[in-house]
Structure 1
Amino acid sequence: MRRPHADMRRPGTGTRSVPWNLVTWECAVMWQATAVREASRTGDYGKVIELVRQDRRMTQAQLGGAIGLSQSAVSRLEKRGARTYSTNILAAASAHLGIPPVLVGLADGRPQEHANGDDDVDRRKFLGGVAATAATPVLTALPDTAGPGGGQAAALRLPTSAYRRLDGSTPSRDLSEAVKPHLRLIQSITGTARGDADRNRLAAVGSEAASLAGWLAWDMGDNGSARAWYGSAVKAARTSGDLLLTAYQAGSLAQFEAHAGNGAEALNLTRRARRVLGDRRPPVADAWLLSVEALAHAADGDRRSADRALTASRAAAEALPEDPPPWPWVFTFGPEKVTACRVTCGARLGLADWVLSDDVGALTAGHAKQRALLVLDIAAGHLAGGRVESAFALARRALDTGVTYKSGRIVERARAVRRTLTTGAPPKVVRDFDERLHGVYL
């Protein structure tokens, strides 16, 4: 497929490479290409995916790995001609490639599910892959297939889950460029929904996607946008009528506010989440909300209340049943999560004995960006204990991760750690750290 300009070619073509922030512009031109338009018009959605995949210089194996399918399954998808497709698989592939859903027949309710053995196997593999990679709180799809609205909700949930799956290995800025149009599509479909039941299902889907947008904005260091998205997630959850989802989103906003230093607001949101669920809240909700409460007390400088909340959270976590927690608490919350929370609280309170934990397993959980933030908390603990060199050796490692993933949140946390050291003649490890930090522009 011909490029709009020679300078827009990718690496290996003899001209300069495509900056990722121009991908959206480039694709907007490509959608007008005759081959893609004709394939979409005739309903050959597999061909649409094949053409875009090739344009992205992506192999079938790479696309399959990203969405939980085998190479042969992707090959079958692309060669189906005008036959019908699984909406789940189409939604996942188009979301990963950044294809507007209308070009693969999703915006108007097409295509219909095509039930055969291969599709069922591939769908199970994809959904299983998404569910098995929950390093952050992942909101997965409810069994929601009654009527056209239910089918739309299920299809729209899959890209959100796929994007969350990519969060641990993809810069948030890149993911955010894909999530925003996904949110607009959800809003558009919700606006045309008929009946309260369909609107409620779609509102829940919108809440999940808005929460993801908030998480990505937070990681980019854009706290204003993060707060707005989390607020939208709470409102959409209320509209959906799902009490568990509403409490979860209120707790997520509380967690954000606690990390932002707004302890009073975080405590208020945590109490609100408990009130939503009443006395019948699931045990995992209690354990998690107690950890969020501890963060809020730490943000307010209240060591005693933070310690009390952490103790209660650990007791609740140790008593959790082995049964899978109810949606949306699909992530595992155990004592190791409380240990990590105690490290963060200790860093905020300047308590070295809280930060320097012996529970190494708890401090190595999560994906690279989460570990980097925890390492910076540990670095703060070393500083509080007077161990400057070890603190900045750790901080440098975490900063490198922040630069690799273009995480504004990690970089800003690294700057906060640096500000805690005031000395006229810093050692070499600090000077090296400063040199690296001062050259970071995300």
Structure 2
Amino acid sequence: MPQYHGALPPEFWSRPVMADALATCDMAVIVEDIRIARGWSQGELANAVGYSQSWVSRVINGQQSLTIEQVRELADRLGIPLHLLRFASATETRKGAGPTRRRDFGKVIATAAMSLPTACTGSDINEGTAPTLRAITGGQRLLDASSPARDLARGAIAHVELTERALKRAQHTPFAPEIAAGASEAAGFAAWLHTDMGDLGSARSYYQTAIAHARQAGHHLLEVYMLGSLASFEIEADDPELGLTLAAEARRRMGADAHPTAKAWLSCVRSLAYAALGDASACTREIARAEANVVRQENTAPPWPWVFSFDDAKVASHRALAGVRLRNPNDARAAFSEALHGYNAGAKQAALLKVELASAHADSGDVDEAFRLATEALRTGSQFRSERVITRVRRFRRGYNGARARIVNEFDEQLTDVLTGQRGK
């Protein structure tokens, strides 16, 4: 039903089509959906944003290029949650986006960087500094779905240094907390990239920096996000006890009244730690907590730094991972089927899920399917030069002690080629 006045309800922004449009900054979809929800004609929409009807028509039809400032202006006039926008082309995240699209998007990021005179020249910091810093990080995150981490690392490190310089200039200004939050997000992304590259020492250091800046910003949920991310990192690095300690600190700081997305996500992090420790009862309890939170009515528009709500498919993916670690292959495979049905993962994340699913198939005796999935994951790891994916594939192979079937021998040959540099160059 059209809504002519007042703010649009939170659930409007969390609908799958709108969430995807916000995540890719697809302004054509965003503006048209707002027009329909408001019950406006194109002329009425033009009056609302202060542009001509022909200009608005070109925006809706995807024929009008927008500057970052114009995006911000439309967001302000139409009530679009700016913190959910990620400055990128919608085609960039679609399957098949190639190097030319990535280069074009690189220009958008460069444009964003050029709009940061306050952080680069020492002139006064202003209210646009932090949003622009965060827009750059958001764009880099989108590129991570289609680019090797090693190709992004240098730019991400430079951006961390840029945010650090901006933060120093912002001392004793009212903009310091927001810039500290941007610095935290930039450091957290650098940590993520270094994890993918297998540089665990650097990753850990960047996570610690991200936590420190989140505390400096006074943003409790951001601190929870970074603490939980470090907890997940340590669990994956085979230290589940430390992961639980960090997750417990994150839960303490989060408080009882936190957003359901944060609660569900942190419960899932804890579930994997308990699964790694072999505590099936505690793992099940945490998964149940996550499931209870994702169905809460308030779990609509997620709080920053979460971009998407934590939904049933994401909980199912953690239930599947826990099933693999607890050696419950039937439960794991059923959960994977549920997760993959509703979880739109990027190539590298999908490869990690395939390795785990391969382990579940191997445990149930389906060797051909297990090594088919592991081979697909290995191919993705090689393509993206992802040490994280390749390490998971190697861990899967070390854990297999079954018969030397033909498919196993073929897999070993391909793994040897990757490890000796014969593939993926």
**TM-score, normalising length: structure 2:** 0.71
Q: Does 1:309 align with 2:286?
A: yes
Q: Does 1:244 align with 2:236?
A: no
Whole-Å separation in 1 of the counterparts to 2:264 and 2:389: 26
1:339, distance to aligned residue in structure 2 (A) = 0.9
Q: Does 1:174 align with 2:184?
A: no
Q: Contact between 2:316 and 2:335, CA under 8 Å: does it hold in 1?
A: no
Q: Does 1:355 align with 2:365?
A: no
Whole-Å separation in 1 of the counterparts to 2:135 and 2:202: 24
Whole-Å separation in 2 of the counterparts to 1:87 and 1:387: 51
1:231 to 208, 219, 222: 208
Aligned to 2:318: 341
1:255 to 221, 225, 232: 232
The number of equivalent residue pairs is: 330
Alignment of 1:43-442 (within 5 A): 73=65, 96-97=106-107, 104=114, 106-108=116-118, 148-321=125-298, 323-357=300-334, 360-363=337-340, 365=343, 366-423=345-402, 426-440=404-418, 441=421
SS at match of 1:354: helix
Whole-Å separation in 1 of the counterparts to 2:301 and 2:405: 50
1:432, distance to aligned residue in structure 2 (A) = 0.9
1:161, distance to aligned residue in structure 2 (A) = 0.5
**TM-score, normalising length: structure 1:** 0.68
Q: Contact between 1:101 and 1:107, CA under 8 Å: does it hold in 2?
A: no
Whole-Å separation in 1 of the counterparts to 2:165 and 2:105: 17
Return 5+ residue gaps in structure 2 as ranges.
Answer: 1-60, 74-86, 89-102
Whole-Å separation in 2 of the counterparts to 1:358 and 1:184: 41
Q: Contact between 2:320 and 2:335, CA under 8 Å: does it hold in 1?
A: no
Alignment of 1:3-22 (within 5 A): none
1:413, distance to aligned residue in structure 2 (A) = 0.3
Q: Contact between 1:95 and 1:159, CA under 8 Å: does it hold in 2?
A: no
Q: Contact between 2:271 and 2:286, CA under 8 Å: does it hold in 1?
A: yes
1:288, distance to aligned residue in structure 2 (A) = 1.2
Aligned to 1:30: none
State the identity as a percent.
36
1:418, distance to aligned residue in structure 2 (A) = 0.3
- Counterparts in 2 of 1:320 and 1:170: CA distance versus 1, 3 Å: farther
Q: Contact between 2:180 and 2:213, CA under 8 Å: does it hold in 1?
A: yes
Whole-Å separation in 2 of the counterparts to 1:338 and 1:99: 33
- Counterparts in 2 of 1:321 and 1:108: CA distance versus 1, 3 Å: closer
Whole-Å separation in 1 of the counterparts to 2:174 and 2:139: 25
Whole-Å separation in 1 of the counterparts to 2:336 and 2:320: 10
- Counterparts in 2 of 1:105 and 1:389: CA distance versus 1, 3 Å: closer
Residue type at the aligned position of 2:106: H
Whole-Å separation in 2 of the counterparts to 1:314 and 1:337: 10
Whole-Å separation in 2 of the counterparts to 1:167 and 1:193: 29
Tell which deviates more after alignment, 175-184 or 101-110. 101-110
1:378, distance to aligned residue in structure 2 (A) = 0.6
1:198, distance to aligned residue in structure 2 (A) = 2.1
- Counterparts in 2 of 1:103 and 1:267: CA distance versus 1, 3 Å: closer
1:148, distance to aligned residue in structure 2 (A) = 3.6
Whole-Å separation in 2 of the counterparts to 1:280 and 1:345: 27
Residue type at the aligned position of 2:406: K
Q: Contact between 1:213 and 1:226, CA under 8 Å: does it hold in 2?
A: yes
- Counterparts in 2 of 1:292 and 1:85: CA distance versus 1, 3 Å: closer
Q: Contact between 1:149 and 1:198, CA under 8 Å: does it hold in 2?
A: yes
RMSD: 3.0
1:71, distance to aligned residue in structure 2 (A) = 7.2
Tell which deviates more after alignment, 303-312 or 378-387. 303-312
Return 5+ residue gaps in structure 1 as ranges.
Answer: 1-68, 78-83, 112-146
Residue type at the aligned position of 2:346: H
- Counterparts in 2 of 1:410 and 1:352: CA distance versus 1, 3 Å: same
1:98, distance to aligned residue in structure 2 (A) = 9.4
Whole-Å separation in 2 of the counterparts to 1:177 and 1:389: 40
Aligned to 2:12: none
Aligned to 2:13: none
Residue type at the aligned position of 1:265: L
- Counterparts in 2 of 1:109 and 1:87: CA distance versus 1, 3 Å: farther
Whole-Å separation in 1 of the counterparts to 2:315 and 2:169: 43
- Counterparts in 2 of 1:101 and 1:168: CA distance versus 1, 3 Å: closer
1:361, distance to aligned residue in structure 2 (A) = 4.8
- Counterparts in 2 of 1:103 and 1:244: CA distance versus 1, 3 Å: closer
Q: Contact between 1:98 and 1:178, CA under 8 Å: does it hold in 2?
A: no
Whole-Å separation in 1 of the counterparts to 2:311 and 2:287: 12
